[in-house]
């Protein structure tokens, strides 16, 4: 009797295994892709009133490709995230995870989409460590369960006196802030995280690299049956071929590669000393013309450093540095009046955006309109035509951005209607505006709260558009 019962149980288990759905079909049937991530400027964060982040946007694209909704889950710390994905509590983790030998023993990784280098960070003005042995003279703190701990353990084999603290509460951004505030001497962060945080913590400096370039990839449980990982490979092949991955990298990193320490420090001071005088004017103009007021403030800072009496050698004036013809077009009579200047500048930018094709999506439309704001719509339309002639997308800012500098070369400007233009100027202009805009957003200046920490039972489901 006992033997018969055991055989029945065994047969039932075998039938259940045969009938088990592939992982990918489970996701499609439930209509939801469950993704573990973490808060940070390179992964998942709140930008204004919207969710953003490189990993978030990339996961959104994948969910669209699968034609399902995206559900983001943010555990309390990195260790919990790794444990949850190892246990199969989510479909995958999109969290800027480096592929390491220790992790490969526990997790399955998808295609590589980015490379980073581990770097040692210290604060400007303090003693610069020359090599790993110098760290014995200061307090080093790193994120617990991170790839940085694995790297330090390798060094410790040859340097037994090497010591560090492992923080289970803070992420890389939190530890970078502690270095900025001189609460710790050093931390280790990936190169992309450092680049993304420099505008927020301008006193940070990189002493040296601690690792060779490391690959980032999405992680899945080792128990994954291969159906999701196979679809992931096809997805990445597609976005690499289409250029979507490059455009996403440009979106989050294209404007932060050039870091101006002096300018950033001055900007922070003027946020306190000059911006409050004009904040309500920016908000009023933003409400009237449908912009984020911090974008208008960023444009104004790029134009005049918030000086209402600013005048250029070419005769443009005021907070928004308007030409006489633009002032006449916008029906204002005093370019140095802050209210007139801000409202005219916002109105002119809105007019540029309205003259672009409706099919152009945001944020591309704003950046292309801003290029027209500073260079002229005719030259921008020339650049868009050249972009299309070069088999790129004239409705995407990253593609137009690559083409604009060609307007200064006879081979190219001789082909277009409006001729020569210093096309690299609006590219630099917009990179600066985006950097100032990011700082204003990070400053949380309108009282928008960042999302609270979530656990596995407190995730935020997100609707996604139709399939890619």
Catalytic (active site) residue 303: yes
Instruction: Let me know the angle formed at the C-alpha of 233 by 461 and 104, rounded to the nearest 5 degrees.
Output: 85
Give the whole-angstrom CA distance, residue 460 versus residue 465.
16
DSSP 164-213: -EEESS--HHHHHHHHHTTSSSBEEEEHHHHHHHTTTSTTEEEEEE-SS-
Under 8 Å between Cβ of 268 and 201: no
DSSP 5-16: HHHHHHHHHHHH
Neighbours of 5 (CB within 10 A): 9
Annotated catalytic residue: which of 303, 309, 388, 431? 303
Sign of CA dihedral 349, 351, 356, 361: positive
CA-to-CA dists, residue 450 to 50, 90, 142, 272, 447, angstroms? 10, 23, 23, 21, 9
List the structure tokens of 264. 């950033």
**Residue spans of alpha helices (H) in 313-396:** 324-329, 338-354, 364-375, 377-389
In which residue are the tokens 């802030």 written? Answer: 177
Look up residue 361 and give its DSSP letter: P
Q: What is the SS3 assignment for 218?
A: strand
In the 3-class helix/strand/coil scheme, how is 72-135 assigned residue by residue? EECCCCHHHHHHHHHCCCCCEECCCCECCHHHHCCEEEEEEEEEECEEEEEECCCCCCCCHHHH
List the structure tokens of 342. 């801000």
Q: What residues contact 5, with CB distance under 8 A and at least 6 apart?
A: none
CA-to-CA dists, residue 208 to 122, 139, 211, 360, 401, angstroms? 10, 16, 9, 42, 32
3-class SS shares of the chain: helix, strand, coil, % to 5: 50, 15, 35
Cis peptide before 363 (omega within 30 of 0): yes
Q: Which helix (H) or strand (E) holds 23?
A: helix 23-30
Under 8 Å between Cβ of 71 and 456: no
Active-site amino acid positions: 303
């Amino acid at each position: 009797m006992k033997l018969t019962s055991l055989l029945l149980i065994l047969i039932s288990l075998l039938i259940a295994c045969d009938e088990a759905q592939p992982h990918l079909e489970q996701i499609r049937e439930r209509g939801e892709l469950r993704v573990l991530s973490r808060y940070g400027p390179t992964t998942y964060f709140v930008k204004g009133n919207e969710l953003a982040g490189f990993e978030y946007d990339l996961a959104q694209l994948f969910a669209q490709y699968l034609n399902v909704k995206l559900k983001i889950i943010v555990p309390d710390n990195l260790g919990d995230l790794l444990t949850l994905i190892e246990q199969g509590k989510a479909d995958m983790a999109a969290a800027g995870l480096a592929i390491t030998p220790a992790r490969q023993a526990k997790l399955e990784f998808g295609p590589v989409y980015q490379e980073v280098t581990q770097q040692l960070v210290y604060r400007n003005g303090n003693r610069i460590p020359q090599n790993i042995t110098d760290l014995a003279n200061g307090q080093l703190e790193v994120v617990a369960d991170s790839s940085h701990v694995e790297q330090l353990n390798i060094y410790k084999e040859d340097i037994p006196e090497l010591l560090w603290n492992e923080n289970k509460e803070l992420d890389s951004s939190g530890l970078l802030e502690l270095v900025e505030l001189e609460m710790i001497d050093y931390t280790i962060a990936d190169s992309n995280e450092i680049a993304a945080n420099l505008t927020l913590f301008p006193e940070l400096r990189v002493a040296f690299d601690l690792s060779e370039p490391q690959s980032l990839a999405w992680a899945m449980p080792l128990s994954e049956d291969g159906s999701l990982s196979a679809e992931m490979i096809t997805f990445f092949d597609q976005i690499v071929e289409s250029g979507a991955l490059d455009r996403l990298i440009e979106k989050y990193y294209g404007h932060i590669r050039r870091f101006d320490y002096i300018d950033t420090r001055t900007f922070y001071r003027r946020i306190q000393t000059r911006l409050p005088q004009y904040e309500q004017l920016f908000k009023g103009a933003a409400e009237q013309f449908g912009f984020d007021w911090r974008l208008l403030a960023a444009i104004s800072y790029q134009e005049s450093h918030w000086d209402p009496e600013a005048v250029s050698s070419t005769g443009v004036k005021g907070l928004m540095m308007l030409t006489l013809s633009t002032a006449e077009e916008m029906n204002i009579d005093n370019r140095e009046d802050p209210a007139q200047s801000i409202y005219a500048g916002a109105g002119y930018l809105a007019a540029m955006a309205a003259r672009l094709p409706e099919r152009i999506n945001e944020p591309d439309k704003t950046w292309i309109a801003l290029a027209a704001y500073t260079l002229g719509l005719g030259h921008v339309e020339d650049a868009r035509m050249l972009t299309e002639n070069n088999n790129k997308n004239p409705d995407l800012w990253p593609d137009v951005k690559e083409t604009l500098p060609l307007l200064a070369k006879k081979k190219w400007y001789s082909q277009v209607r409006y001729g020569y233009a210093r096309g690299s100027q609006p590219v630099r202009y917009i990179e600066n505006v985006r950097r100032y805009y990011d700082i204003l957003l990070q400053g949380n200046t309108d009282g928008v709260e960042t999302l609270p920490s979530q656990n596995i039972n407190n995730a935020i489901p997100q609707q996604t558009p139709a399939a890619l």
